[in-house]
Structure formats: structure tokens, C-alpha cells
Amino acid sequence: MNKGKKLYEGKAKIIYSTNDKYLVVQHFKDDATAFNNLKKTKVEGKGVLNNRISECILTNLEQCGIKTHFVKRLNMREQLIKRVDIIPIEFIVRNIASGSLTKRLGISDGTVLEKPLLEYCLKNDELQDPLISKEHIFNFDWATKSEIEEIDKITLRINDILVGLFRGIGIKLVDFKIEYGKAWNKNENEILLADEISPDTCRLWDIKTEKKLDKDRFRKDLGNIIEGYQEVARRLGIMPEISNIKEINFNKSSSIKFKKK
Ligand code: 5GP
């Protein structure tokens, strides 16, 4: 598989072409951004961890029958994925109120929701990914009714699987954002789960202490960002292979210290 030219560069990832028109390379960067790019930094080792964590989660989902873009991991920072046309909607699932939901509706942070709450946001950085309704989606042709019906079902199934997967390793899945794409290979004629699922795109709280193990460590200046991601990787059982990253000290994984809030 030959890596070709850069097709797209986002805030946390770069997509490269390959010599197969149906496949592309997804490269995970160390860049961390928040608040519509107003806050930026490099978190050394984040790209490596997200590559491995996302691989692990998407592989688990595939095993449960969810169709994803993931083909295989190529190296520490890159994975081979199916080329898709991304549907321009961020699908957000919330199990516990946090983040923008608490600000928008005045719901207390940490309120357990009676059932998972599905939200849709337009993928548009300039507009700061505004919340939209299904009526907006259909009116502006961002997706069809049958596509959204199918995606809603898959999204809730993904939530069920991930809540269980994380509960098994002592983590509460508070909320997450996912994206879908339409496969370029029209023979597949499929909607695939795309992008990534990682601590960049989820809120993950330790079950006992409610310590944040996700990008909120960066957003809220809680410190020890990489240690949060590292802890998620360690609990998922994927730490040994990334022991050559200098910022990650495995011997210290049992003594991770979090700055007090
Ligand atoms: P909120 O709407 O509360 O800011 O985010 C809800 C969930 O979706 C959080 O887990 C958050 O990390 C994720 N999320 C929402 N929008 C984005 C985005 O543009 N980029 C990333 N990486 N995650 C997002």
C-alpha cells in the first residue's frame, strides 16, 4: 500500500490517498484544539494513543456487527480506512449531562439521563458546529429520512455496546460524538461509521472517582492530559505495544497523579 498525497487536513487528523481509490490513510496528529480552535496545543503521544484506542473500539464494534471504515492499523500513527463521503453531521449521544447540554439548558453537570439523548450538530467550524434538528437535516438535504432512521438505530446500538465496554473497565461513558460516511465503493452501498472514537471525542469518567480521562482535561486546564488517555489505553489492554513512546512511562501507570480540581 503506497501512501499518496494529502487529501485533507483537519484539527487532529490528516487523510492521505493511496494507490487504491477506495482506501485512504488516516494519520493521527498530536494537536489538541478546543473552543473552535481558540485554544491549541500539542500533546505529545496523543496521536499514537488515539490511533490505538480508536482501532480497539472500532474493532470491537465491528465484532458486534457495526460497519465501520476501519481496515487495519498501519503503524503507530496511521490506519488504513475505507474512503467515504462524510455526512456533514456530528451525531452526539449523551448518557449523563455535561458540556454544552448543561450550558444550553441549565441541567446540572452529572445528571444521569433517563434514556440516551441523541443530538445532531452541523459539521461547520466557522459556525461552531451548531445544534440542528431533523427538520434542518431534511430541509437542507444533509441526509435523507431513511439514512437518519438507519443512523439513529446504529448510533443507539453503538452507545449500548460502548457503555458496556467502558463499564467493564471502570469507566462511565458520559457522552460522545461520532460521524458517518457513505462508502466510495458503491458496490458496498453502505453507511459506515467513520472518523474516530477516542478520548478526544468522548467524555469518559472513572466510575469511582469521576476523574475525567478525556479531552476535558485539556478544555478545562485540569493538567495531565496524556495520563488520562494513557489510563484509558491501559484499561483497554492496549498499552504494551506503545511502550516505545518516550512521554509514556508504563511503569508509572499505576501511580498516575491527577491535579486536584
Ligand atoms: P459538547 O456538545 O458537550 O461540547 O460535546 C458532547 C460530546 O461530543 C463530547 O464528548 C465531545 O468531546 C464530543 N464532541 C462534540 N463536538 C466535537 C468536536 O467538534 N470535536 C470533537 N473531538 N469532539 C466533539
* 3-state secondary structure string across 161-196: HHHHHHHCCCEEEEEEEEEEEEECCCCCCCEEEECC
Whole-angstrom Cα distance, residue 159 to residue 201?
13
- Bridge-based pairing of strands 23-28 and 13-18 is antiparallel
Give the mean pLDDT of 39-60: 97
Per-residue pLDDT at 258: 36
**Which cell numbers in the block locate residue 12?**
487532529
Whole-angstrom Cα distance, residue 256 to residue 213?
11
Query: Is the Cβ atom of 200 under 6 angstroms away from ligand 1?
Result: yes
Report the separation in Å between the CA atom of 85 and the middle of ligand 1, taken as the mean of its atom positions. 21
Report the separation in Å between the CA atom of 101 and the middle of ligand 1, taken as the mean of its atom positions. 11
Query: In a mutational test of the pocket of ligand 1, which residue from 175, 213, 215 has the highest number of ligand atoms less than 8 Å from its CB?
Result: 175
Report the separation in Å between the CA atom of 20 and the middle of ligand 1, taken as the mean of its atom positions. 32
Check pLDDT > 70 for residue 31. yes
Residue 252 CB partners (closer than 8 Å, separation 6+): none
pLDDT in tens, 157-198: 999 999 999 999 999 999 999 999 999 887 766 999 999 999
- Asked if residues 192 and 155 have their Cβ atoms less than 8 Å apart, the reply is no
**Which cell numbers in the block locate residue 97?**
449531562
Per-residue pLDDT at 186: 76
pLDDT in tens, 224-248: 999 999 999 999 999 765 554 444 4
Sorted by where each begins, the domain ranges of the chain are 3-84+224-247, 86-206
125 phi/psi in degrees, rounded to 5: -60, -40
- CATH architecture of the domain covering 86-206: 2-Layer Sandwich (3.30)
Domain 3-84+224-247 has CATH 3.30.200.20: yes
Query: In a mutational test of the pocket of ligand 1, which residue from 31, 36, 43, 177 has the highest number of ligand atoms less than 8 Å from its CB?
Result: 177
